[in-house]
Amino acid sequence: MTLTFNPDKYTELLIQHQPKLIRTEEENERALAIVEELMHRPNRSLEENELYELLITLIEKFEREFYSPGEASTPHSILLFLMEQQDIKQQDLVDVIGSEEVVAEVIEGKQEITQEQAKAMGEFFKVSSSLFI
């Protein structure tokens, strides 16, 4: 069975959560709470995945500008952020992107993330693989 994106369901989610640019720590905390809820929801729908990715993007933008003005997000920082948010350990990524050595080098920023690894991590974290490229 192929899942299809339902624009009406997505619209309902957008109305319910009303995502917007985050400008305060309070708004960031609210967005983080929604992300946390979605992160632990088993079998998220395509629409929920879309909202999840949107909120992560908004949170990252706020945190990058608020906490580290002038520093841009990198594939490495996104990986570390997602690992922290989802309580993923280095060992958890061995089956996703390769050996313990490869995982260690990627996490330490000593090795760039390949297209293949980005795709695998996108599927693992349920986010767009473009976040890792």
Average pLDDT over residues 68-73: 60
Using left for φ > 0, alpha for ψ between -120 and 50, and beta otherwise, residue 114 falls in beta
Residue 9 vs residues 12, 16, 19, 64: alpha-carbon distances, Å: 5, 11, 15, 30
Given a cut of 70, whether residue 123 has pLDDT beyond it is yes
Convert the pLDDT of each residue in 5-37 to its tens digit.
999 999 999 999 999 999 888 999 999 999 999
Convert the pLDDT of each residue in 56-68 to its tens digit.
999 988 887 776 6
Distance CA 94, CA 66 (A): 33
The SS3 call for residue 22 is coil
Average pLDDT in the chain = 89
For residue 103, the model assigns a pLDDT of: 92
For residue 76, the model assigns a pLDDT of: 85
Distance CA 24, CA 37 (A): 20
For residues 1 and 57, the model is more confident at 57
Report residue 107 as tokens.
């996490």
Distance CA 110, CA 76 (A): 10
